[in-house]
Amino acid sequence: MRTMNISKLILGIVALLVAPIVASAQQGESHIGKVSGHADAGRQLYFRYCWGCHGFRGDGNGENGQYLNILPRNFVAATFKCRSTPTGTLPTDQDLFNSLERGLINSNMPSWIVLTDQNRADLVAFIKTFSPRWKTEKAGDPIPVPPEPKLTLESIKHGQQLFQKLECWKCHGQEGRGDGPSASTLTDSSDQPIRPYNFAAGSRFKCGTTNHDVYKIFMSGLDGTPMPSFADVVKPDEAWDLVHFLRTLQVTHKSPELALWESTKEGAEQVALSKVKGTPTGSGVEQ
Amino acid sequence: MYRMSPRLRAKRVVFLTSAVSFALLFLALFFSSSPTASALPPPGGSVRALPAFARKYGLPCSSCHQAWPMLSPFGQAFKDNGYQLGNERDAPIYQNPAYWPVTFRITPIWHRENENRTQVDGTAGPGTAEANVTTHGFDLSGLDFHTGGTLAKNVSFYVLPSSDSTASFHFETVMARLDNLAHTSWLNLKLGKFELDNLLSEKRILTLTNVAGVYTNYHYQPATENNGVNAAFLPFVFGIGDNQLGMEVMGHSANDRTRYSVALISSNDGNVGLPTSRSYGTFITASQAFQVGGLGLQRIGVFDYIGEAPTYFQFTNGNTSGIPGNAAFGIPGTGIGNRNFYRAGLIGQIYIKKYDVTAMYFHSSDDKYLATGTPSNAALATIPLAPGAQNAIWNGALFESHYTYSPQFIFIQRVELVRMSQQALPIVAGTPYTPGVSVPTANFGNEDVYTFGGRYYPFMSSRAGFAIHGEYAFSHQIGTSPVSGQNLDFSSLLAGFDFAF
């Protein structure tokens, strides 16, 4: 009996000693599919590509940070917009990897798709060394995304009702142009003014391009911005209805949802009103 | 009494030793010279890097440049996208109205040039002897004014007035480009004067000396060409490293792994004013990159230039030389008697973490009229095409490697080899080279070039670029000294500050 207690005690001490080492090792690594990233390699890449905006300490205070009107991400705070995980939790390695690959539109964060998978995995591993959160917390469990139901007119109309009911229009505007009555009052977690997404301006979202991505955006929320998670408010089927409706607001982007919506008199009228001839980036207007 | 600590003393000894060594090296170079006075030109060449882009996007130089001005894969993709990052912030409307995308670049240097057999005056008269000539001193490169960027989303431009070291300007690059036509990165159209889509860019070369400031293989022409024996012959000059006038269609995959380009260019080596003929050439290149584990991005590619060039002017004007069809009086744009030439090759760019090597193979040919300096109209030839003349054919190889210790420090090494596989003129052993008639050996004109150097960037910034540059280059050519027909060697040593703002 006594021997057993001593064994347990030794095991406990060993566990206590090993746990920080394991945690530390995990913090210095990332795992994306079959690729494992290493912080040491990521450090070199970071100080080649990233420090100008994100800063030497990863706090977003790079020499160019002050000139950017969407501030660079503060890796020390470890609050990330694009996640597959519930609001308030850390993102998965894959989420960070995807953000690097995709870039963030309407910001100065470009796509790093040109880098190799290994490079991006190494960068993810290094980015995780900036915040103590990665030592004490685990990444959240990805939000399950059920299969997309068949696109129907009813689905779009129900999504339109949800758009009103959830008051999405207050920020995004009735036409989804990011010009709702609250739009001018919004600030992000750094107290910087932030504009709601303008659906009419393009096809890409901040955190992806597919319907699957849109689903994740409003079920996980964009942490650090006023865009909340609707996971507790909206059922999965309803979320898909909202996805279908939001696609119809992207009037400059051809999609099955827009085509179906335009096939109705009501939809055609709304889309016609929303369409403005010109380049969606505001770089000029066709005469 | 003040006594130095052993540590401080050791530091001071190291410093003094270094200073004395540098001074001795400098003096040795200074006094090792043979008769000076050769008018060897200062290093030239227009090279590109644009802090204006860094200022626009807030990225450090090292994002787009493996070592400025050499592009990284990310910088290459940025260029291929029409100087756009694609995050909907590329159009000028997003910039501060005061932003003006302009950058200048210049390089104050000290350099030493040596030529082992320079043609000099001799006892038999002017230009009848050869001497080993060395010159050195402080100098300047030319000055480049780069402007580039986007006029609107998917409409980009680049304008580069460039001067030589005497501030005589020309347009090195002037182009506008329609990007992502039909909403695809596979279709982009460029028009103007631009660098051909060489996979190893000469405009972003890391070496600056007279010997190695350009890639020898990009400009090599057999020693039998432009020999001056036929006054009517229209001098033929071409290099795929030279910026050319024309239009280019290029495309690439979203991640820039797969690239192609096709350029149709006027066959005048980028000289404005249609100075020679109405002929055209075509440059085609394609490449594929792939990643190999943790080693990095590897790329292989092919290229081919097929062109034709005139050998004489159809019309001449003001010819007072008494020689019919004297090319010196040709009416611009009326060159005819076109003859073919081509440059083709393969390239591989291999990355092994911090070490990278580029290997290129070249296979080139010039028509026998071009290669012997003979007008294809026999009536205009002072010396007709030599019996037994044939197309000149040669092969080349280039091996360039870098060790990028960090974004701030890069070592450079390069070897270039050119080997004639078929001389244009008959080989008559034991006789000296006789222009337009014969060459003495099969390896006449073969050339080797060796280069070593390093660049240190004391700071990395998104505002300006600065490098401390050191380099040595040596070239060796078989049988081409101007008087004795012996081997001709050049060497060049350079140290300087290379900066752009």
Contact A114 B63 (CB under 8 A): no
Task: Give chain A positions within 8 Å (CB) of B89.
Answer: 106-108
**Amino acid identity of B362?**
F
Q: pLDDT-derived band of residue A147, with 50, 70 and 90 as boundaries? A: very high
By Cβ distance, the residue of B89, B153, B254 closest to A108 is B89
Let me know if residue B177 belongs to a domain.
Answer: yes
Long-range contacts of A160-164 (CB under 8 A, 24+ apart): A160/A245, A162/A234, A162/A238, A162/A241, A162/A242, A162/A245, A163/A242, A163/A245, A163/A246
In a domain, B203, yes or no: yes
Interface pTM, i.e. ipTM = 0.84
The answer to whether the beta carbons of residues A82 and A71 sit under 8 Å apart is no
Cβ of A114 within 8 Å of Cβ of B462? The answer is no
Classify residue B433: in a domain, yes or no.
Answer: yes
Contact assignment for B91 to A103 by CB distance below 8 Å: no
For the stretch B157-171, pLDDT in tens is 999 999 998 889 999
Strands B155-163 and B409-422: unpaired
For testing contact with chain A, the best of B78, B89, B95, B460 (most A CBs within 10 A): B89
* Partner-chain contact A44 B256, CB within 8 Å: no
- Interface contact A52-B60, CB threshold 8 A: yes
Rounded average pLDDT over B422-441 = 95
Q: Which residue has the tokens 């030592």?
A: A135
- Name the average pLDDT for chain B: 89
Return the pLDDT at B34. Answer: 37
Q: Does A173 score more than 80 pLDDT?
A: yes
A68 to chain B: closest CA residue: B58
The reply to whether B3 falls in a domain is: no
Residue A111: which of B86, B90, B293 has the nearest Cβ? Answer: B86
| CATH number of the structural domain spanning residue B61 | 2.40.160.10
Query: How much of chain A is helix, strand and coil, in % rounded to 5?
Result: 45, 5, 50
On the question of pLDDT at B24 being above 80, the answer is no
Q: Strand locations in chain A, DSSP E?
A: 29-32, 35-38
Distance from CA of B406 to the nearest CA of A (A): 8
Span B300-305, mean pLDDT?
A: 98
Does residue B229 sit within a domain? yes
Instruction: Domain count for chain B, please give it.
Output: 1
| Contact list, B153 vs chain A (CB under 8 Å) | 279, 281, 283
Mutate to test the interface with A, among B55, B66, B87 (most CBs of A within 10 A): B87
Q: Assess whether pLDDT exceeds 90 at residue B95.
A: no
**pLDDT interval class at B56 (50, 70, 90):** confident
Q: What is the pLDDT of residues B321-338, one digit of tens each?
A: 777 788 989 999 999 999
Q: B7 in a domain, yes or no? A: no
Q: Which has the higher per-residue pLDDT, A91 or A286? A: A91
In terms of C-beta density within 10 A (0-12 exposed, 13-18 middle, 19 or more buried), how is residue B121 classed?
exposed
pLDDT at A155 exceeding the cut of 80: yes
Delineate the domains of chain A, giving CATH numbers in brackets: 31-136 (1.10.760.10), 153-274 (1.10.760.10)
* Closest residue by Cα to residue B285 from B266, B307, B300: B300
CA A224 to chain centre: 10
Residue B25: is its pLDDT beyond 80? no
B25 found inside a domain: yes
Q: Is the pLDDT of residue B23 over 50?
A: no
Q: Which domain holds residue B143?
A: 16-500
Question: So what's the pLDDT on residue B124?
Answer: 93
In-domain check, residue B429: yes
